[in-house]
Amino acid sequence: MLAAPAVGGAAVTLTKNGNTSWTMSNGQLTAVFQPGGDKITSVQLKNGTTSPNLLSQLDQEFAGTPFGGGPQTFGSQVGPNGSYVDVWATTGESQNASGGYTNPIAYSFHYLLFANDPTIYCYEVLNHSATDPVTSVGQGQFLFRSNPALFPDLYQINTGPNQQGTNFAVTVAQMPSTYPNFGTVIGQAGRTVQNAAYDLNGSGIPGDNGTTFFTK
C-alpha cells in the first residue's frame, strides 16, 4: 500500500489506452497501470502542481507454485459516482505440450484508488479448484520500486549519540541489485550465504556498507 499526504479530493477517473496503459486519477494521485505487465509504471502526486514520476515500478513478487505464464485477461471496475476504481490483470491456468501444467493456478493482481484517499491499495486473488493439480503458495508481496533519481540509496557509518546527521553518511549511487549482471552473479552455485544474502567476492560488484556481501 502506497500512501501520500491528503491534498483535497475528487471523483476517481479511469482512462484506457488500449491494453498498453490505463490512467487512474482521484485529483491527489495519478497512477498508470500497464495491464500486460501486471504493474503500475507511474505514480504522480498532485498538490497544486504535478510531481515527477515517483516510481520505477510498483509490482508483485510471489513464491511457492511456479506462477508461470498463461492466457491473460484484463478488467476494471469504477464505483458509483467515481467512488473508487479497481484495475487488474488475470493470468489463467496453462498446460505445456506434454500435458503438464506450466501454471497450475489462476491469479489476479489488483490496484485500487478511492476518492478522497491518496493511497494505492493492492491485493491478490487466487483461484484453484478441487480438480486442479496440487500446488502451494509460499508468499505474495507488492513492491514499490522508487525512482532512484528522487530516492537515492543511502547508508551511514560511524554514527552515534554525538554524531547525528549526515556528516558521516555515505551515499551509494548504485546498490548491487541495480547492476545489470547482478542476477547472473547471484545465480552461481555457492553465492547464496543464507536466505536472500549473497557473497559477491570476485564479482566486481560492491556489497552493502563497504562489505562484499549483499542482502535485501
What cell numbers appear for 154 in the block? 543511502
* Sign of the CA dihedral with 2 first, then 109, 67, and 40 last: negative
Q: What is the mean pLDDT of residues 12-25?
A: 94
DSSP string, 8-68: -----EEEEETTTEEEEE-SSEEEEEEGGGTEEEEEEEEESEEPPP-EEEEEEEEEES---
Can you give the residue ranges of every domain in the chain?
2-146, 153-215
Q: What pLDDT is stored for residue 32 in this prediction?
A: 96
Q: Residue 129's pLDDT is what?
A: 84
Tell me the C-alpha distance between 45 and 27, whole Å.
Answer: 9
Give the mean pLDDT of the chain. Answer: 83
pTM value? 0.72
Q: In the predicted model, is pLDDT for residue 4 greater than 80?
A: no
pLDDT in tens, 101-132: 777 888 899 999 999 888 999 999 998 888 88
pLDDT of 164 strictly over 70: no
CB–CB of 66/33 below 8 Å? no
**Range scoring the smallest mean pLDDT among 105-109, 155-159, 187-191:** 155-159
Residue 126 near residue 138, CB atoms below 8 Å: no
The pLDDT of residue 130: 85
Average pLDDT estimate for 27-37: 93
Q: If pLDDT is split at 50, 70 and 90, which confidence band does 171 have?
A: low
Percentage of residues in the chain having pLDDT higher than 90: 34
Ranges 1-15, 59-73, 108-122, most confident: 108-122
